[in-house]
Every structure is written in structure tokens, then in C-alpha cells.
């Protein structure tokens, strides 16, 4: 397939949408749709290339894969190797080990599968994954692996090829829509749920080989420019639900495919449009290298500058583009094959293979690097995986019931003891540490009923319930949110003596009114009620601060998140006042863990796993602090159900 300037122009629009989104999501909330448009373009270009070569009798699977390898591998492998080497100077052990694993996955074209297994694309932790962007390359390379063989088989039946591809495209879209509610990460990362986006491109590539003289030049130009403008307009919008994101991503791919189809028709007539201009084509030609380089540059910048200003972000954007241009000039273009009879063909193929071997070697060596390389003399090693394993082992002493649409009272009652007092901790991911802290009291039996990522709200404010459903995917397991169902379930439990409400209310959408409603719901029940205020919130993971040797005198106060701290204090005050007024116990976690100082360690054990969650050691400190004494005494009947501490 001949090079079409307007298609390169569309690539330029896509890459800058992605760049701006990654520089600041506020500037372009849905700029990630540029990646989806790339999928549509790839489906069009690759399908068109195979069709043209198949019709002329020149298509060879071997030559296709050789050309793809020479086109993609050198730049990718150089990026992987340089990222591993560069971030070995910036990262501590607990960040570097996952980076090494992702480097190996990127070199083997499986990073999308790895990141699907690990976490979501929009998570805060993505800030520490310099090769996260290679997920899309994994999807593309897996598409390249299966599509040429499938297409050459279909082209044997030209009359039905279009119908079969259209059918599979629609089935793929239906699968993505159907799975979006229950498996959003799989829909985002995994190739089977992305194939319909390539399918749109394939359909229009087939259509582009038929007559197109029924459309006027002006209309074709409008379609090309319209595809770019539509992508820009969609990038400015915000798509909250997973279903709307799937729809937007599919629309971006479809728009790009239509734009490519119109661009080919224009090119055949010798016409040009604005997207075929020199500047657009220049950046489109280099979009792959810019995409590869931009994310490691941005992550390096954010690692060094916690909260960049607007001007620093602009500098970050410019530096990302510059790095991509250097990668393109130094690696991508020199090693690209210039046809089957390129005189430097052997050298370029050797370089492609060599870069892959080098990248895998670097990634493998980094993965095996011992932790002691990052430690100062006499410093205690803290390994995130070991800390997580210790927490999970400690939680075996707690009977844990996950909140699902099918959770029943009998599931919770199965955890209850007939000889001990039963206490139920309800909440989100913070409930685990609170439940673990309560196990310090041997007279009570602790059960945890929780839903990670969905803070408890037992009130009736429709706007907050809608916000939770739109923005917090776990809250969607029950239409309208799970907490009304949980509240009804709790009131039917037999043998329950105490309830502790624990959850993350750092989001500004949780106003004082909503906290009051939570406390009010607990008032006057047959069980002894308690509500927990927030744990301290740090600017970054405490393990990460430890790795960077930044914690001085065992005090985390310099790393308090000052943006959220005033809200935390205000909300703690609201909880305490309302609890006192309504006869509900308050567990003052914030004051307990952060008094004259905010310790990071108890002995040589770290107290926080990330920015906010306690480790087993932290939960033990909280449980032994006496913060729960009044509540537990109330449960045990040693004092009136409520007394102010």
C-alpha cells in the first residue's frame, strides 16, 4: 500500500491527543482515544497492504513478519533497554522489580496481559510504570500475529470476505460491551476485546478497493478533516462509565477508519487536504517513536517533580516530543527496510534481532538484581511483596466476607461465634486493617464485610450514589450502589453485638452531610456502633519513601498530603461531634497514628503499605493503642454503651 499523507496526518492528531492527555488529564480528559484511533488506522493500513500484495501475487507471510520486525523492534527494544537502565538510577527496589518484569513483557509483546493482571490504566500507581504504554503495542503485535494468516484465508473467498469480517467485528464489539460491566480491565487491555477496532479499519480497507467515484472531492476532504475534528472533540469530553468508554473507543476507531478510507480516495485523485500538510505528515511519520519515548520521559519527570506546575508540564510535553524525534532519527528510520531488495537488509535484520536479544537480556538481568544493591549500610530491607504476604497471613485470623450482589445474611452469620461477642467491620479496603487491629482484643470475634474501592455510604443522597456509580467501578455491582442492601442485611443479623464503619472519605464528594448521615444510620441500633475517621494520607507510598531514603527520624510529617489534610481534619471533627451527639463511638485513627510525630516504623517493621493503607505492623500498633477500648468495653458490657473519651 502506497504512503498516503492524510493517513500520516491522522496519526499526528492521534499522537498529540495521547501526549496532551498524559501531560495533564485536565487538559484533554479523553485524549487516550488517540490510541483507539491508532487501532483503526492499523487495521486499515495492514489490511490494505495485505490485499494489494495478495492481488499482485507478491504476498509472503515470511516477508510480512520480517518487515514488521524491522519496523517495530529496534525502536521498542532501545526504549525498553534505556528505560530499565535509566530508572535503575531513579527507582528503589520495590519499584524497579515490577519495571524489570514489565520490560521483559514488553520485549515479548505480552505487556498488555501483564498490566491486565496487575492493575488499571488510570490508577494512581500507573504513575510508577514507565512501560505501561507498551500495552497497546502488545495488542497491536498480537493482532499482527493472527491477522495476516486469517485475512489471506478469507481473501480466497472475496465475495464473502467483507461480510465475514463485518460479522466478527460486530461480535467483537458485542463482547466488549457485554464484558464492560463485569471485567473492565480485561476489556481495556486484552486483544480479543480490541479486535473489533482493527476490524473497522479492515472493513474500510476492503471498501477502499472498490469504486469511490460517487463521492465528490469536497465530501472526501470533509470526511478526512471530520475524522480528525471528531477525535479532538471526543478527547475534550469525559466518559465516566465503562460502557460509555467502550462506545467512545469504538467510535474513535471507526472515525479513523472512515478518515483513512476517504484519504485513500483523495490520494487516488491527486487531491490533498489540510491533514496532508508537511507539518502534520512530519509528526505522523514519527508518531511511533514519539509514542515510545513520551511515557518514560513523563514518568521520569513526575518521579523527580511531585506536583509539576503548568509551565513544567509544557516543558515535559516538549521534552517528550524531542525524545521521540531523537529516537526516530537515530533508530527508527535508519533501520527501516526500504523494500525487499534493500542493500542493507541483512544488517538491519541483524540489528532488529540483536536489539530484541539485548532488551530481553537487560530486562532479565534487572529482574534478578538483588535487593542489597539499593540498601545503604545497616539499612533494613523492606520488600513490598513480603509486606503484602505478611498482611494476608495476619488477615487469616479475620473472617472476611466480600460484598457482592449475592451476599446474604447467612454468609455473615456463618462467621459468628456462639461463645464470643461478635463485631462486624464494614467498609472498603481500609476495613481490613481495622478488622485486624480489633483482633488484639481476644474477647471478641471479628468479621469483615467489605468492598474494596467503594467507600461505605448509608445515606440517601442520590447525587453521591450516582457519583459513586459513575466513578467507582466496584460500586456498580448493585444498581444504585451496594450500601443500601448492606444496611438492610446488617439489621437482619442474629448474634451481632458491635458494628464498626470504616472507609475512605478523602474524596471531596463526601461532604460533612454524608458523614453525618453515616453516623445517624448507626444511632439507636441494637448493637454497639462505632465509626472510624481516616488514616493519614501521604503524598506517595511510604514504602517508596523508604526506598528513596527520604524518611528522617522515623517521622512522616514532611510527607503529609497537605491538599487533603485540612479535609481530613474537618471530617474527623464532624465525625467526633456527631458521634458524641448521637451516642456513637469514635475511633480516632488520625490522632492515634499522627500525634507529636507520625511514625513510619514500629521497630524495624514498616507501618504503611502505600499512601494510606496500614500494614500488619501498622494495624497491630493501632490495635494496641487503646483507640478501640471504649467501643470494645461497650460491646463486652463493661461500661455503658457509650462514654466520651
How do residues 524-578 score in pLDDT, each as one tens digit? 899 999 999 888 889 888 998 888 888 889 999 999 887 767 767 777 788 888 8
Residue 393 banded pLDDT, cuts 50, 70, 90: very high
**CA dist., res. 350 & res. 343, Å (int):** 13
358, 402: one domain = no
Pairing of strands 399-402, 585-587: unpaired
Q: Which three cell numbers stand for residue 562?
A: 497537605
342, 405: one domain = no
Q: Is residue 304 part of a domain?
A: yes
Residue 643 has what pLDDT?
Answer: 45
Q: Is residue 511 part of a domain?
A: yes
Answer yes or no: is pLDDT of 644 > 50.
no
Looking up cell 545497616 gives 378
Q: Is residue 644 part of a domain?
A: no
Answer yes or no: is pLDDT of 212 > 70.
no
333, 469: one domain = no
The top-scoring range by mean pLDDT among 69-73, 291-295, 353-357 is 291-295
Q: Is residue 384 part of a domain?
A: no
242, 367: one domain = yes
Answer yes or no: is pLDDT of 512 > 90.
no
Q: Which three cell numbers stand for residue 458?
A: 448509608
The mean pLDDT of 80-96, rounded to a whole number, is 88
Picking from 336, 371, 406, the residue at the C-terminal end of a domain is 371
The mean pLDDT of 106-133, rounded to a whole number, is 80
The mean pLDDT of 599-623, rounded to a whole number, is 94
pLDDT > 70: percent of the chain: 91
Least confident piece of the model among 171-180, 235-244, 346-355, 514-523? 346-355
**CA dist., res. 401 & res. 408, Å (int):** 10
Answer yes or no: is pLDDT of 167 > 70.
yes
Quick one: CA torsion of 459, 462, 464, 467, rounded to 10 degrees?
140
The mean pLDDT of 579-608, rounded to a whole number, is 91
325, 441: one domain = no
Least confident piece of the model among 125-129, 198-202, 261-265, 429-433? 125-129
Residue 89 has what pLDDT?
Answer: 86
Answer yes or no: is pLDDT of 125 > 80.
no
Residue 58 has what pLDDT?
Answer: 85
Q: Is 78 helix (H, G, I), strand (E, B) or coil?
A: helix
470, 361: one domain = no
pLDDT > 90: percent of the chain: 50
Q: Is residue 379 part of a domain?
A: no
Least confident piece of the model among 278-287, 380-389, 481-490? 380-389
329, 412: one domain = no
Picking from 356, 371, 386, the residue at the C-terminal end of a domain is 371
326, 414: one domain = no
The mean pLDDT of 272-286, rounded to a whole number, is 89
Answer yes or no: is pLDDT of 49 > 70.
yes
Picking from 324, 339, 371, the residue at the C-terminal end of a domain is 371
Answer yes or no: is pLDDT of 615 > 50.
yes
DSSP line for 629-641? HHHHHHHHTSS-S
358, 475: one domain = no
Answer yes or no: is pLDDT of 506 > 80.
no
469, 520: one domain = yes
How many structural domains comprise the chain? Answer: 2
Residue 25 banded pLDDT, cuts 50, 70, 90: confident
Answer yes or no: is pLDDT of 41 > 80.
yes
Residue 321: alpha-carbon gap to chain centroid:
23
Residue 255: alpha-carbon gap to chain centroid:
25
- For the segment 420-472, what is each residue's pLDDT rounded down to a tens digit? 999 999 999 999 999 999 999 999 999 999 999 899 998 888 888 888 887 78
Q: Is residue 383 part of a domain?
A: no
152, 210: one domain = yes
Question: Residues 546, 615: contact at Cβ < 8 Å?
Answer: no
**CA dist., res. 263 & res. 6, Å (int):** 6
Residue 337 has what pLDDT?
Answer: 65
- For the segment 295-335, what is each residue's pLDDT rounded down to a tens digit? 999 999 998 887 789 999 999 999 999 999 999 999 988 87
**CA dist., res. 577 & res. 584, Å (int):** 10
153 versus 289: which is more confidently predicted? 289
Answer yes or no: is pLDDT of 245 > 70.
yes
Residue 495 has what pLDDT?
Answer: 94
**CA dist., res. 579 & res. 634, Å (int):** 15
Answer yes or no: is pLDDT of 376 > 80.
no
96 versus 421: which is more confidently predicted? 421
What letter would DSSP give residue 643? -
Kindly report the average pLDDT of the chain as a whole number: 87
The mean pLDDT of 127-146, rounded to a whole number, is 93
620, 497: one domain = yes
Residue 45 has what pLDDT?
Answer: 95
**CA dist., res. 178 & res. 171, Å (int):** 10
Residue 294 has what pLDDT?
Answer: 98
Q: Kindly report the CATH number assigned to the domain that includes residue 538.
A: 3.40.50.1110
**CA dist., res. 532 & res. 530, Å (int):** 7
The top-scoring range by mean pLDDT among 28-42, 95-109, 515-529 is 28-42
Q: Is residue 378 part of a domain?
A: no
Q: Of 417, 452, 405, which Cα lies nearest the Cα of 431?
A: 452
Answer yes or no: is pLDDT of 233 > 90.
no
Residue 126 banded pLDDT, cuts 50, 70, 90: low
Q: Of 564, 488, 559, 556, which Cα lies nearest the Cα of 533?
A: 564
34 is in which domain, residue-wise? 5-371
Q: Is residue 446 part of a domain?
A: yes
Amino acid at each position: 500500500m502506497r504512503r498516503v499523507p492524510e493517513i500520516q496526518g491522522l496519526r499526528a492528531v492521534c499522537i498529540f491527543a495521547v501526549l496532551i492527555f498524559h501531560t495533564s488529564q485536565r487538559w484533554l480528559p479523553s485524549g487516550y482515544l488517540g490510541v483507539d484511533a491508532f487501532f483503526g488506522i492499523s487495521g486499515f493500513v495492514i489490511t490494505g497492504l495485505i490485499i494489494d500484495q495478495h492481488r499482485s501475487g507478491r504476498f509472503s507471510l515470511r516477508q510480512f513478519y520480517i518487515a514488521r520486525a524491522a519496523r517495530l523492534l529496534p525502536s521498542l527494544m532501545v526504549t525498553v533497554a534505556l528505560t530499565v537502565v535509566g530508572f535503575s538510577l531513579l527507582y528503589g527496589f520495590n519499584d524497579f522489580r515490577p519495571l524489570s518484569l514489565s520490560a521483559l513483557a514488553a520485549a515479548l509483546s505480552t505487556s498488555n496481559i501483564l498490566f491486565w493482571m496487575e492493575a488499571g490504566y488510570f490508577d494512581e500507581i500507573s504513575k510508577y510504570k514507565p512501560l505501561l504504554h507498551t500495552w497497546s503495542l502488545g495488542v497491536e503485535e498480537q493482532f499482527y500475529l493472527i491477522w495476516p494468516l486469517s485475512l489471506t484465508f478469507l481473501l480466497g473467498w472475496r465475495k464473502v470476505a467483507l461480510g465475514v469480517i463485518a460479522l466478527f467485528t460486530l461480535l467483537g464489539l458485542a463482547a466488549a460491551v457485554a464484558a464492560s460491566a463485569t471485567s473492565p480491565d480485561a476489556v481495556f487491555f486484552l486483544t480479543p476485546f480490541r479486535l473489533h477496532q482493527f476490524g473497522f479499519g479492515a472493513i474500510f480497507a476492503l471498501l477502499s478497493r472498490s469504486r469511490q467515484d460517487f463521492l465528490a472531492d469536497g465530501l472526501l476532504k470533509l470526511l478526512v478533516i471530520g475524522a480528525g475534528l471528531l477525535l479532538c472533540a471526543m478527547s475534550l469530553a469525559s466518559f465516566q462509565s465503562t460502557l460509555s468508554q467502550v462506545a467512545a473507543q469504538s467510535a474513535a476507531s471507526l472515525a479513523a477508519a472512515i478518515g483513512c478510507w476517504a484519504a485513500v480516495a483523495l490520494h487516488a485523485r491527486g487531491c490533498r487536504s489540510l491533514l496532508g500538510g508537511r507539518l502534520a505528515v512530519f509528526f505522523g511519520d514519527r508518531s511511533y517513536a514519539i509514542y515510545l519515548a513520551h511515557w518514560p520521559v513523563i514518568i521520569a519527570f513526575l518521579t523527580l517533580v511531585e506536583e509539576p506546575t503548568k509551565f513544567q508540564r509544557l516543558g515535559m510535553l516538549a521534552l517528550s516530543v524531542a525524545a521521540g524525534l531523537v529516537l526516530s532519527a537515530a533508530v527508527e528510520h535508519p533501520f527501516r527496510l526500504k523494500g525487499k531488495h534493500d542493500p542493507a537488509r541483512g544488517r538491519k535484520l541483524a540489528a532488529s534481532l540483536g536489539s530484541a536479544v539485548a532488551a530481553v537480556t537487560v530486562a532479565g538481568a534487572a529482574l534478578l538484581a538483588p535487593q542489597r544493591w539499593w540498601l545503604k549500610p545497616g539499612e533494613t530491607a523492606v520488600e513490598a511483596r513480603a509486606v503484602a504476604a505478611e498482611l494476608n497471613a495476619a488477615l487469616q485470623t479475620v473472617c472476611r466476607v466480600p460484598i457482592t450482589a449475592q451476599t446474604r445474611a447467612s454468609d455473615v452469620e456463618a462467621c459468628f461465634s456462639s461463645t464470643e461477642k461478635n463485631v462486624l467491620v464494614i467498609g472498603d479496603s481500609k476495613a481490613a486493617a481495622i478488622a485486624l487491629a480489633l483482633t488484639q482484643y481476644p474477647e471478641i470475634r471479628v468479621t469483615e464485610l467489605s468492598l474494596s474501592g467503594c467507600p461505605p455510604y448509608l445515606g440517601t443522597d442520590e447525587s453521591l450514589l450516582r457519583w459513586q456509580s459513575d466513578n467507582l467501578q466496584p460500586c456498580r455491582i448493585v444498581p444504585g450502589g451496594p450500601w443500601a442492601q448492606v444496611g438492610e442485611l446488617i439489621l437482619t443479623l442474629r448474634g451481632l453485638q458491635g458494628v464498626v464503619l470504616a472507609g475512605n472519605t478523602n474524596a471531596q464528594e463526601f461532604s460533612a452531610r454524608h458523614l453525618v448521615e453515616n453516623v445517624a444510620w448507626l444511632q439507636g441500633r441494637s448493637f454497639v456502633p462505632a465509626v472510624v475517621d481516616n488514616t493519614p494520607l501521604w503524598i506517595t507510598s511510604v514504602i517508596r519513601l523508604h526506598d528513596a531514603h527520604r524518611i528522617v527520624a522515623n517521622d512522616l510529617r514532611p510527607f503529609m498530603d497537605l491538599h487533603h489534610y485540612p479535609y481530613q481534619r474537618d471530617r474527623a471533627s464532624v465525625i467526633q461531634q456527631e458521634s458524641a451527639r448521637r451516642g456513637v463511638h469514635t475511633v480516632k485513627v488520625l490522632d492515634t497514628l499522627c500525634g507529636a510525630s507520625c511514625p513510619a516504623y514500629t521497630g524495624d517493621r514498616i507501618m504503611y503499605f502505600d499512601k494510606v493503607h496500614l500494614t500488619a505492623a501498622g494495624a497491630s500498633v493501632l490495635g494496641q493503642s487503646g483507640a478501640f477500648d471504649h467501643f470494645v468495653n461497650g460491646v463486652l458490657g463493661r461500661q455503658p454503651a457509650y462514654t466520651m473519651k
